[in-house]
Amino acid sequence: MRVTRIGGPTVLVELDDWRILIDPTFDPPGRRYTFGLGTSSTKTRGPAIEAADVGPIDVVLVSHDQHADNLDTAGRALLPAATYVVTTLAGSRRLAAANVHGLTAGQSVGLTAAGKAPLRVTATPGRHGPALTRAIVGDVIGFAVRREDQETVALWVTGDTVVYPELLDAARSLDVDVVVVNVGGVRFPVSGPLTYTMTGSEAVRLLTTLEPRVAIPAHYDGWSHFRDGEAGLRAALRTAPGRVQDAVRWVPDGQPVDTDAPAE
């Protein structure tokens, strides 16, 4: 597997012959986006690779479509060219295209393409904030991507979520090779101390439960709404179990990294 971090939540994964794009965001920096109920965020960093230079995409995984830090204007423009787009059930209704497949947690879809080994994508649970906020922030899912003939999850994408019992249950049930874990500890002034994505300490708790071979942090910088960020995760890792510290790979922006190669 080869992974290229493009910026924010946007990661290009090359798994066998499949090219998988996670949460495409390619707008330039400087714009402020509103998320509803008095919340907003400014994009502070642009993509390491421009949308025009990404190349052909087989699958786009959109953890949720309702927030521009996970699917922005330029990212939306890429969706029609992908063979498959997989997202939430509500998101599939909003995107309303023939190549879009909507899932709820636990549901899966098989993906086939000429000359490629089949894949199966299963939606995993996510909660984009504190308990009882789903009606406000909307649905979110993660993605467990398997080769159709294997039980091991080649790639797990957590999506934007906090740690909560259903997520930990999913982590216990999965045998994961590589996980892309969204961190950053999103907070907004209007909602005070409430967080809407994992902090560093929460990510360590999840990874301790999951025990993946490789863990790649994502979506921890490039936006003004991160309050924990890279520093929070690095601080939490200093006291994390050794196996968690060894699993984490900090992927530089725009540079493909082979997850089977030894960490530098």
Coil vs helix vs strand at 82:
coil
CATH assignment of the domain containing 121: 3.60.15.10
The answer to whether residue 68 is domain-embedded is yes
The answer to whether residue 89 is domain-embedded is yes
How much is the pLDDT for 210? Answer: 98
Mean pLDDT, rounded, for 65-83: 98
Coil vs helix vs strand at 157:
strand
**Chain CA centroid to CA 60, Å:** 11
CA–CA gap between residue 195 and residue 178 (Å, rounded): 25
Mean pLDDT, rounded, for 57-84: 98
**Strands 153-157 and 141-147: what pairing?**
antiparallel
CA–CA gap between residue 229 and residue 252 (Å, rounded): 15
For residue 263, pLDDT over 80 is answered with no
Instruction: Please identify which residue in the block is written with the tokens 């995984």.
Output: 61
Closest by CA position to 22, among listed 31, 14, 35, 13: 13
The per-residue pLDDT of the chain, averaged, comes to: 96
The answer to whether residue 32 is domain-embedded is yes
The answer to whether residue 264 is domain-embedded is no
Which residue range(s) make up the domain with 117? Answer: 2-252
How much is the pLDDT for 264? Answer: 62
The answer to whether residue 167 is domain-embedded is yes
How sure is the predictor about 30, in pLDDT bands with cuts at 50, 70 and 90? very high
The answer to whether residue 21 is domain-embedded is yes
- Token output for 114: 């000429």
The answer to whether residue 262 is domain-embedded is no
Instruction: Please identify which residue in the block is written with the tokens 């003939």.
Output: 149
> For helices 165-173 and 200-210, what crossing angle results, to 10°?
30
Tell me which of 73-82, 126-135, 154-163 is least confident: 126-135
Number of structural domains found in the chain: 1
pLDDT digits over 130-150, tens only? 998 888 899 999 999 999 999
Element (H, E) at 102: strand 100-103
- Per-residue burial over 86-115, b if 16 or more Cβ lie within 10 Å, else e, is bbbeebbeebeeeebbbbebeeeeebeeee
